[in-house]
């Protein structure tokens, strides 16, 4: 805490890992006295830079730009870019730290990184977004590369933004390489990448449910968020027979007791992906649903909850409400949406709980598959990518079971994911010496 003042999110993420990894190190001689965790919490490199850009009215704006190159022991830095006014060093370091363990879990050769800006994309014109993305990439381009650091999307950065940044990178460097993932399908993007995080979250939840002889069929599912991850979590949960009754954004949530079917989801995608609008527009078209302003959906009765919006959106009280209402499976689609108090409540009640670094790893895993396809200069089919994604999520589940099963049979997915993620990175760092 002394070394990283004013970084509460980063300390929260480190504490959660340390609580499970330190006891493991104490039991395993080869990891002792090597300062492994101490080295892992210190980013290899932190880049901070000015982004100056001009809006449609001719006014000049200045934003902060960041890239955290956290750990490259097992592959090039890999992790998304976030554009949101809340972005700061603490949030990006927490995300980069989580990313190291997550990428290790995917079984693919990717190190960890994260970046972004405190830029607010809401209310900006398409041209302003383009100008900002170009200004951002003008600086970032000198620090990244297909074999060095490969950014992707995150909150506020989707296909449109990745496209603009890719165009600028290509212009500056005069090379067509897989330097960003989440690209459009016509210029090196992978099929299933947009779906991957949401689908992967549901595949992971399915594996968890199977450990108790359960499935999505006939279950009521509460989802938060209505962005990229939430949309495809809703789609896959519905395809597997679940009834998803909520979606949300930073203004509140909608509750649709009839379930958000494929047509209704298409409308959410239209609101969010085409008009960049607000979730309450849903109730204008579907008046049976209601909009609850300024609240999270955790008070709605369900068996399965998939938090897919942002960090610390589900606290201890919300967790207790979910459990009291019969919820027995929570799989994080977002990064660290559950507070430590919420996680403790889930563990105390012995319900199924998956941390994002395991259950939302499908996105970066598919980004890894996009990198492979770019290097091979070919494209795999939808089915091929989906099969690989499914297999990776099953492997991550297996790894969590291996390292996280308690003597009483309860699977602690937090412990499992942290230790499994740690082992691969630690072994690579040991082999590479003190560098
Ligand atoms: P999007 O920008 O597509 O969607 C984000 C959603 O979360 C929106 O509905 C947004 O509402 C809501 N949201 C964002 N900030 C807040 C806030 N402070 N309070 C309440 N709601 C908020 O992002 P993604 O779907 O890509 O990302 C969602 C989460 O998933 C993040 O935690 C991200 O790190 C994580 N993740 C994403 C991956 C990916 O592949 N995209 C991979 C792995 C993890 P509004 O529109 O009102 O801002």
Residues with C-beta less than 6 Å from any ligand 1 atom: 153-156, 158, 197, 225-230, 249-251, 308-310, 333-335, 360, 363
Asked if pLDDT for residue 1 goes beyond 90, the answer is: no
Tell me: is residue 153 an annotated ligand-binding position: yes
Q: pTM for this one?
A: 0.97
Q: Active site residue: 3, 34, 114, 320, which one?
A: 114
For the stretch 194-245, pLDDT in tens is 999 999 999 999 999 999 999 999 999 999 999 999 999 999 999 999 999 9
For the stretch 274-303, pLDDT in tens is 999 999 999 999 999 999 999 999 999 999
- Ligand 1: residue of 9, 280, 295, 310 to mutate (most ligand atoms within 8 A of CB) is 310
Percent of the chain with pLDDT over 70: 100
Residue 420 binned pLDDT confidence (cut-offs 50, 70, 90)? very high
For residue 325, give every residue at least 6 positions away whose Cβ sits within 8 Å of its Cβ, in sequence order, or none.
299, 300, 301, 302
Q: Determine the Cα–Cα distance for residues 271 and 283; give it in Å rounded to an integer.
A: 12
Tell me: is residue 102 an annotated ligand-binding position: yes
Pairing mode of beta strands 252-255, 246-249: antiparallel
Q: Determine the Cα–Cα distance for residues 242 and 387; give it in Å rounded to an integer.
A: 21
For the stretch 331-352, pLDDT in tens is 999 999 999 999 999 999 999 9
Pairing mode of beta strands 290-293, 329-331: unpaired
Residue 305 binned pLDDT confidence (cut-offs 50, 70, 90)? very high
| Span 141-170, average pLDDT | 98
114 is catalytic: yes
Q: What is the ipTM of this complex?
A: 0.98
Distance 226 CA to ligand 1 centre (A): 8
For the stretch 360-395, pLDDT in tens is 999 999 999 999 999 999 999 999 999 999 999 999
Asked if pLDDT for residue 39 goes beyond 90, the answer is: yes
DSSP for 342-395 reads HHHHHHHTT-EEE-HHHHTTHHHHHHHHHHHHHHHT----HHHHHHHHHHHHHH
Closest residue (by CA) to atom 7 of ligand 1?
309
Distance of CA 428 to the CA centre of its chain: 24
């Amino acid at each position: 805490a002394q070394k990283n003042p004013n970084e509460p999110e980063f300390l929260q993420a480190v504490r959660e890992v340390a609580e499970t990894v330190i006891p493991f190190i104490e039991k395993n001689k080869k990891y002792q006295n090597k300062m492994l965790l101490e080295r892992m919490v210190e980013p290899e490199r932190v880049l901070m830079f000015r982004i100056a850009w001009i809006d449609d009215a001719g006014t000049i704006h200045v934003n902060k730009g960041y890239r955290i190159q956290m750990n490259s022991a097992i592959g090039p830095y890999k992790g998304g870019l976030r554009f949101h006014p809340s972005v700061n060093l603490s949030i990006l370091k927490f995300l980069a730290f989580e990313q190291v363990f997550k990428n290790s879990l995917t079984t693919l050769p990717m190190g960890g990184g994260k970046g972004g800006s405190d830029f607010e994309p809401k209310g900006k014109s398409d041209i302003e977004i383009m100008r900002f993305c170009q200004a951002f990439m003008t600086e970032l381009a000198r620090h990244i590369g297909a074999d060095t650091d490969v950014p992707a999307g995150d909150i506020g950065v989707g296909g449109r933004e990745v496209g603009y940044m890719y165009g600028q990178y290509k212009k500056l460097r005069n090379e067509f390489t897989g330097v960003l993932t989440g690209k459009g399908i016509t210029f090196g993007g992978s099929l299933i990448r947009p779906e991957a995080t949401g689908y992967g979250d549901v595949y992971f939840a399915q594996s968890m449910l199977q450990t108790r002889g359960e499935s999505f069929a006939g279950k009521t599912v509460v989802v938060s968020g209505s962005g990229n991850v939430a949309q495809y979590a809703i789609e896959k949960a519905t395809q597997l027979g679940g009834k998803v009754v909520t979606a949300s954004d930073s203004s509140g949530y909608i509750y649709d007791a009839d379930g958000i079917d494929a047509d209704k989801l298409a409308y959410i995608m239209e609101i969010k992906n085409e008009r960049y609008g607000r979730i309450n527009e849903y109730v204008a078209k579907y008046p049976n649903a209601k909009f609850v302003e300024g609240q999270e959906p955790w008070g709605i009765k369900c068996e399965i909850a998939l938090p897919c919006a942002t960090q610390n959106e589900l606290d201890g009280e919300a967790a207790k409400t979910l459990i009291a209402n019969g919820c027995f499976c929570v799989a994080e689609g977002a990064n660290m949406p559950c507070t430590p108090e919420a996680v403790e409540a889930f563990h105390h009640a012995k319900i199924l709980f998956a941390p994002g670094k395991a259950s939302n790893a499908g996105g970066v895993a598919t980004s890894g598959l996009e990198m492979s396809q770019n290097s091979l200069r070919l494209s795999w089919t939808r089915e091929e990518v989906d099969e690989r994604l499914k297999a990776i999520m099953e492997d991550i589940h297996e790894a969590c079971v291996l390292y996280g099963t308690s003597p009483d049979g309860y699977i602690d997915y937090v412990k499992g994911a942290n230790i499994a993620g740690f082992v691969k990175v630690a072994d690579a760092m040991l082999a590479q010496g003190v560098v």
